[in-house]
Amino acid sequence: MNNFKLPLSLIGIFLLSSSTYAIELTDYKVIEGEYSDAYLDGSLNVNDDSDKEQTSYNANVSAKLNSVYTTAPYTLKYYIQGQGSTVRGSDNNDSRESQYNAEAYIKGNKYINNDDTYYVYGDSKLKYQKLSTLSKASDPYLEIGAGMGYGRMYIATPLASAMRIAEDLKEYKIIKPSVSDKALIALAKIIGLESQYASKYGSNDYKQYWYSDMEKVLKENDALVNNELSATGVVRLNSILSTNDSRSVLSRLHGWTVQAGAGQVLSDYNGNSGDTTVNAEFDYALPFGYTSQLQETLSTAKVLDSSSDLDYKITNKLYYTYELSDKIDWINSWNLEFSKANNSGDDVTTNSLGTTFRYYLANQLTFNTTLSLNKADGNNLGIRETKGWNTALTSSISYRLK
């Protein structure tokens, strides 16, 4: 466990970092907004030692899509993720083993007063998997839920992009050293309307109108040195806002929500209907400057069926990202889950920690180095206890789809 002291202490240091601007991302409370990102990851490890009976390999591929769309009356969130691996050992009797899993989730919030207070929600989750120990895939898993909540999550990514643009254009003496908060907010609002510009002018032509309106609001707020953006300014805008030429600003969120409701497993991996649960969740997000992001999700589910093997489950997911530079991100995660057994057997606690350095290459490619640690305490509920921390160091190439 001592191995974690340095990374966790570094996270604490970066949490104290602050923006050089008077304005903070938490000041951006524009309700209308959207963001999405999608990555395709792959890694391959091949060993052909002369003293081994056959070539061994380990191939992994994963894909992930996250998207959030928010308006005054509605918020829609969904994600799709999947991963698969193929492994073969170095002995002649080692056969190829494959496994894969996929998950899709969608949730809609309807705000009762079209503000940031009370809402009702509905969600559903679909999962599919094939374990390496089985010859075929399990039955699809389907779960639905509904309930009521309070609060709202704001998308502050446009303001983070505006702050980065201001810093960049200062170096080229295109924008004045002192940019007002009003100018940054006005620029951020135009940045946040990208999808509307694309819809109105078409995906091939919208950027000229988009950039033109950015120049217009900067002029109106007396932010440009020569009262024009110039060709260099347009190139720099495109470099920051486009994932084709460089990396874009990672998603920045702030706010909190709390909710409670009921859930029902319509079909488990064996094709049987599952238990009814009472659920509660707290979701929190806070950016630090425009370089750091903290996200925390705490959820619990209580099974109502007294004959179930599971009494209740508590899950905590913590994420922290820090932009070391325009080309390198440091991404950290900690997933903790506690499952209380209802009748016989152990209570189970699982921990999963990961730290990734993501280096942005050209043409939407990134090179990732990840250190992951996993531990399980207790043998029950389909989980096997580990003797200690399982550690893995992997490298992979990612392609950003959007």
Query: Where does residue 91 rank: exposed (0-12), middle (13-18), buried (19+ CB within 10 A)?
Result: exposed
Supply the pLDDT for residue 4. Answer: 42
The verdict on 293 and 367 lying in the same domain is yes
Average pLDDT over residues 314-334: 92
Query: Domain of 268?
Result: 2-155+252-400
Residue ending a domain, choose from 180, 206, 241: 241
Residues 17 and 107 in one domain: yes
Whose tokens are 């992994």? That residue is 60
CA distance 29 to 42: 37
- pLDDT above 70 covers what percent of the chain? 91
Looking at per-residue pLDDT, the higher value among 296 and 378 belongs to 296
Determine, yes or no, domain membership for 246.
Answer: no
Q: Which residue has the higher pLDDT, 128 or 364?
A: 128
Are 145 and 16 part of one and the same domain?
Answer: yes
Strand partners, 275: none
Q: pLDDT tens digit string along 267-277?
A: 877 777 878 99
pLDDT one-digit tens code per residue, 48-107: 666 666 788 888 899 999 898 899 999 999 999 999 988 887 777 777 888 889 999 999
Residue 49: HSE in the Cβ half-sphere, 13 Å Cα cutoff: 9
Q: Quote the pLDDT of residue 7.
A: 46
Closest CA to 384 of 339, 343, 334, 348: 348
What pLDDT, on a 0 to 100 scale, did the predictor assign at position 246?
Answer: 41
Confidence of residue 15 (pLDDT cuts 50, 70, 90): very low
> Does 166 lie in the same domain as 120?
no
- Whether 247 is in a domain gets the answer no
Q: Would 27 be classed as within a structural domain? A: yes
Final residue before a domain boundary, out of 241, 270, 286: 241
Q: pLDDT tens for residues 175-229?
A: 998 899 999 999 999 998 888 898 899 988 999 999 999 999 999 999 999 888 8
Query: For residue 243, is pLDDT > 70?
Result: no
Question: What was the pLDDT predicted at 220?
Answer: 93
In this predicted structure, the answer to whether residue 9 has a pLDDT above a threshold of 50 is no
Give the pLDDT of residue 274.
78
Domain boundary among the residues 241, 268, 287 is at 241
Q: Is residue 95 part of a domain?
A: yes
CB neighbourhood size of 1 (10 A): 8
State whether 149 and 173 are in the same domain: no
| pLDDT in the model for residue 204 | 86
**99 falls within a domain:** yes
Q: What number is the average pLDDT over the span 257-280?
A: 89
Regarding whether 318 and 308 lie in a shared domain, the answer is yes
Residues 130 and 262 in one domain: yes
Whether residue 286 sits in one domain with residue 218:
no
d(C-alpha 259, C-alpha 21), whole Å? 34
Residues 259 and 388 both lie in one domain:
yes
CATH code assigned at 313: 2.40.160
Could you tell me the pLDDT band of residue 44, with boundaries at 50, 70 and 90?
confident
Whether 116 maps to a domain, the answer reads yes
Q: Using the CB atoms, write b or e for 59-81: b if 16+ within 10 Å.
A: ebbbbbbbbbbbeeeebebbbbb
User: Structurally, how many domains does the chain consist of?
Assistant: 2
Range of lowest pLDDT (43-47, 82-86, 138-142): 43-47
Do 327 and 357 lie in one domain? The reply is yes
Summary mean pLDDT of the chain? 86
